[in-house]
Amino acid sequence: GAVVSQHPSWVICKSGTSVKIECRSLDFQATTMFWYRQFPKQSLMLMATSNEGSKATYEQGVEKDKFLINHASLTLSTLTVTSAHPEDSSFYICSAAGLAGVPSYEQYFGPGTRLTVT
Amino acid sequence: RKEVEQDPGPFNVPEGATVAFNCTYSNSASQSFFWYRQDCRKEPKLLMSVYSSGNEDGRFTAQLNRASQYISLLIRDSKLSDSATYLCVVNLASNTGKLIFGQGTTLQVKP
């Protein structure tokens, strides 16, 4: 149980376009979803925390107008990278929390989406 | 200062070796501690939680020293399949779920 999927697994787009990444919890209702970004040889950095039905909370330094997060249901959160630029190329990973009786730091990670902006 | 610091390595060891990874964290209010494993170009996977009393899971032993704000992971009898990056992870407050990841320590086990 506790499977999280992401789509797409990889994407290449041109500079200036927008890219949407989906994160789904397949067998549980995720009250909270987290979005991380990982650059090569660096650690995962939390970008934002989203709770179903409310606005996402962004970490310091993450532009909320550039990285649009929507968490409209208990099984789906989306991250849209707007007007992507080459410096946005990274590995984007989501995680989900919310299993009954399980603390929210016990998160289930999606397989990640590798974004390359040309 | 980084919130969670690890020696990035790489650690190159022969099969069967014992290897230890260290990690320090800066926020004394940190509440929960974990070791994750991340394979190349994959998502991180929870290896084990770390408790103050120390805990063991097969060949893996984790230790926590709250006074020194120090966490360790010991791997005994290394296998080729242990080759990966090991991430030290800290949670500040359980109600937020926010995880702080270290940079990771890369282990390469050679035959």
pLDDT digits (tens, 9 = 90+) for B75-108: 999 999 999 999 999 998 766 788 999 999 999 9
Contacts of B97 in chain A (CB under 8 A): 32, 34, 49, 97, 103-105, 107
pLDDT, residue B94, reads: 62
Yes or no, beta carbons of B96 and A49 under 8 Å apart? yes
Yes or no, beta carbons of B101 and A104 under 8 Å apart? no
Q: What is the mean pLDDT of residues B20-33?
A: 93
Yes or no, beta carbons of A93 and B41 under 8 Å apart? no
List of E strands, chain B: 4-6, 11-14, 19-25, 32-38, 44-50, 55-57, 60-65, 70-75, 84-91, 99-101, 105-110
Å between A17 CA and nearest CA of chain B: 24
Which amino acid is located at A104 in the chain? S
Spans of chain A, pLDDT less than 70: 1, 100
- Decide: A89 and A81 in contact? Cβ < 8 Å: no
**Residue A77 CA to chain centroid, in angstroms?**
7
Yes or no, beta carbons of B98 and A43 under 8 Å apart? no
Mean pLDDT of chain A: 92
Q: Which residues contact A66 (CB under 8 A, 6 or more apart)?
A: A81, A82, A83
Residues of A with CB under 8 A from a CB of B: 32, 34, 36, 41-46, 49, 91, 93, 97, 103-107, 109-112, 114
- Pairing mode, strands B19-25 and B4-6: antiparallel
